[in-house]
């Protein structure tokens, strides 16, 4: 995870290896202190094809003094995610340098500390790389070296940014942790390893307590969905239950549930090879729950949060669940498993039952649930389903600020028939070729009773095919920031 120190100061750090100027689009005439009062026009930047468009960059080497990087940005931009992308451009262009002084334009300084928080998030997020399995020195040398950033503002005390910068570091750090967990190969991130890692990470926070349920406890708790999925694997399942208790008395309780399939082969309904290559990231929901909850103490979230991470490996094997088998879930409801590749909803059925038992005010589950949701909304937008419009409004707002967009899909009563079973209460598949993301959500809805609930289907945005802006290739950590911002909102 990137470890970067952030400082605000009224002067550029003279020791900085590079100075960064943020320039609004088209503003090539303003004198820049880093260029000794010269403008970009004086440096013929336009002649080089540079016009300071959003997220374009130009490195200017200066004989005998610190090099300058110019980062363009849309004129007057205040948008959280645009600023995050400017931060990303700063980090990517300053990758080879150990420290940087970033001159903050006065209009951004006047916007207040949040602008520095968003820039900080962009810098941390874009400095991320998953390099632990690389040995090639050239590839390793290409990793970001940025260790310190000094924001140069006219009134460092007045802007009071330290707290917001720290919150930015916390939520971007949560995203990076979720990425690390997802990028780890499946054989190195089994349910047991995930739970052990959670245990280690939680130890640093007195506000968090953890229970890890092993196979014995899972059996005692009658988690038939989770057991049914894990049966084909030699790796035993785990449930991680995490509780965050705020320092001040909590008025509300929020329960989170994460899909934690550490590898999804499809089970006996085996996936084709191409569909399986990325299935180590099928635990991205659980990763987002763990990572966001670890940030709650730093964010001073005032509500109690209980998280359930439902961890199992979905494999074919001699004792695997077979198509046609019926599972008895924790709630007592029975599910006919017609496709063992629709396993996420089976483990979430138990997770949602556990969550509702906590008498929560809200339940949110997050899962890489359906390929159908990727078809519907693509790789950059997650689906959201609900029985509470108010909850979706709040989650959607948090997503917009976090740069993690949600789009609501319906849960129409008329499609309840899609999950009707010949022999059990429900079946785990909908109708072939129709509304697959809705069928998944419809099954989950049977396990939340009347509690306000939302389901986030992150199958699309949980992975990115290429590095772009603040997104790396591979696991994106989608959802960790959104959950942080959502839970932070309860403070306002
Ligand atoms: N983990 C997959 C969903 C998925 C697909 C996530 C692509 C990320 C990218 C899930 O367990 C699954 O396989 N769902 C099936 C359900 C179907 C069998 C009803 C699907 O979407 O095809
Ligand atoms: Zn599956
Ligand atoms: Zn899956």
**DSSP string covering 337-384, please?**
ES-TT--HHHHHHHHHHHHHTT--SEEEEEE---HHHHHHHTTSEEEE
Q: Phi and psi (nearest 5°) for 463? A: -130, 150
On the question of pLDDT at 133 being above 90, the answer is yes
Topology at the third CATH level for domain 174-491: Aminopeptidase (3.40.630)
The residues that are catalytic are 271, 345
Q: Is the pLDDT of residue 383 over 90?
A: yes
* Contact yes or no for 148/7 (Cβ under 8 A): yes
pLDDT, one tens digit per residue, over 295-351 is 999 999 999 999 999 999 999 999 999 999 999 999 999 999 999 999 999 999 999
Instruction: Provide the pLDDT for residue 327.
Output: 99
SS3 percent helix, strand, coil of the chain, rounded to 5, is 40, 25, 40
- The reported pLDDT for the residue numbered 491 is 78
Query: Helical H runs in 75-112?
Result: 80-93, 106-111
Q: What CATH class has 5-160? A: alpha beta
281-291 pLDDT, tens digit each:
999 999 999 99
What letter would DSSP give residue 488? H
What residues have CB less than 8 Å from 342, skipping those under 6 apart?
428, 429, 440
Instruction: Output the pLDDT for position 459.
Output: 98
Residue 360 in contact with residue 306, Cβ under 8 Å? Answer: yes
What secondary structure letter does DSSP report for 465?
S
Closest CA to 23 of 66, 69, 65, 62: 69
Atom 22 (ligand 1): residue with closest C-alpha?
Answer: 371
User: Contact, 462 vs 449, CB < 8 A?
Assistant: no
Q: Judge if the beta carbon of residue 370 lies within 6 A of ligand 1.
A: yes
Confidence at 376, pLDDT banded by 50, 70, 90: very high
Q: Is 372 in the pocket of ligand 1 (CB under 6 A)?
A: yes
Domain ranges of the chain: 5-160, 174-491
Looking at ligand 1, which atom is closest to the CA of residue 430?
Answer: 19
Percent of the residues in the chain that have a pLDDT greater than 90, as a whole number: 94
pLDDT value for 156: 87
- Mean pLDDT lowest among 156-165, 380-389, 403-412, 462-471: 156-165
Q: CA–CA separation, 481 vs 407, rounded Å?
A: 17
Q: Are 118 and 168 in contact (CB under 8 A)?
A: yes
pLDDT at 28 over 80: yes
343 CB near ligand 1 (under 6 Å):
yes
Ligand 1 pocket member 202 (CB < 6 A)? no
- Distance, in Å, from the CA atom of 90 to the CA atom of 82, rounded to the nearest integer, reads 13
- pLDDT band of residue 159 (cuts 50, 70, 90) is confident
Is the model's pLDDT at 55 over the cut of 90? Answer: no
Q: Give the model's confidence band at 367: pLDDT under 50 very low, under 70 low, under 90 confident, else very high.
A: very high
Residue whose structure tokens are 């659980």? 286
Q: Grade residue 157 by pLDDT with cuts at 50, 70 and 90.
A: confident
pTM: 0.98
Task: Quote the CA–CA distance of 190 and 196 in Å, as a whole number.
Answer: 10
Give me the residues paired with residue 242 across strands.
210, 307
Ligand approaching nearest to the C-alpha of 338: 1
Q: Is residue 263 helix, strand or coil? A: strand
């Amino acid at each position: 995870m990137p470890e970067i120190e952030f400082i605000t100061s009224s002067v550029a750090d003279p020791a900085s290896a590079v100075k960064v100027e943020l320039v609004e689009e088209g503003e090539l005439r303003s004198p820049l202190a880093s260029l000794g009062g010269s403008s970009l026009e004086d440096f013929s930047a336009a002649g080089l094809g540079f016009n300071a468009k959003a997220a374009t960059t130009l490195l200017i080497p200066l004989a005998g003094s610190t090099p300058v990087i110019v980062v363009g940005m849309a004129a007057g931009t205040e948008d959280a995610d645009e600023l995050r992308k400017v931060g990303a451009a700063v980090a990517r262009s300053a990758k080879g340098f150990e420290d940087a002084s970033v001159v903050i334009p006065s209009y951004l300084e006047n916007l207040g500390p949040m602008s520095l928080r968003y820039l900080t998030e962009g810098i941390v997020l874009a400095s991320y790389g998953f390099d632990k399995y690389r040995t090639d020195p050239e590839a390793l040398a290409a990793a970001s070296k940025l260790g310190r950033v000094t924001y140069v503002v006219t009134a460092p005390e007045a802007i009071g940014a330290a707290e917001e910068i720290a919150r930015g570091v916390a939520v971007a750090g949560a995203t990076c942790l979720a990425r690390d967990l997802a990028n780890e190969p499946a054989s190195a991130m089994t349910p047991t390893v995930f739970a052990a890692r959670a245990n280690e990470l939680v130890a640093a926070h007195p506000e968090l307590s953890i229970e890890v349920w092993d196979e014995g406890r899972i059996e005692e708790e009658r988690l038939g969905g989770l057991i049914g999925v894990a049966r084909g694997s030699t790796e035993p399942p785990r449930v991680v239950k995490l509780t965050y208790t705020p320092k001040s008395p909590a008025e509300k309780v929020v329960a989170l549930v994460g899909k934690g399939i550490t590898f999804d082969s499809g089970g006996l309904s085996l996936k084709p090879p191409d569909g399986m290559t990325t299935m180590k990231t099928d635990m991205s929901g659980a990763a987002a729950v763990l990572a966001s909850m670890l940030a709650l103490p730093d964010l001073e979230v005032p509500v109690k949060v209980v998280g359930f991470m439902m961890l199992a490996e979905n494999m074919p094997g001699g004792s695997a669940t077979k198509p046609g088998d019926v599972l008895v879930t924790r709630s007592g409801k029975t599910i006919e498993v017609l496709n063992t590749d629709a396993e996420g909803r089976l483990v979430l059925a138990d997770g949602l039952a556990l969550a509702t038992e906590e008498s929560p005010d809200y339940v949110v589950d997050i899962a890489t649930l359906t390929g159908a949701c990727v078809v519907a909304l693509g790789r950059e937008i997650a689906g959201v389903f609900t029985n509470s419009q108010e909850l979706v409004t709040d989650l959607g707002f948090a997503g917009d600020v976090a740069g993690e967009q949600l789009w609501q899909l319906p849960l129409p009563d008329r499609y309840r028939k899609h999950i009707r079973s010949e022999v059990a209460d429900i079946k785990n598949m909908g109708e072939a070729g129709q509304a697959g993301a809705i069928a998944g959500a419809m099954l989950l809805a049977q396990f939340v009773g009347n509690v306000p609930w939302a389901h986030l289907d992150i199958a699309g945005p949980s992975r990115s095919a290429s590095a772009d802006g603040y997104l790396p290739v591979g696991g994106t950590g989608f959802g960790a920031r959104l959950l942080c911002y959502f839970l932070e909102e309860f403070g306002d």
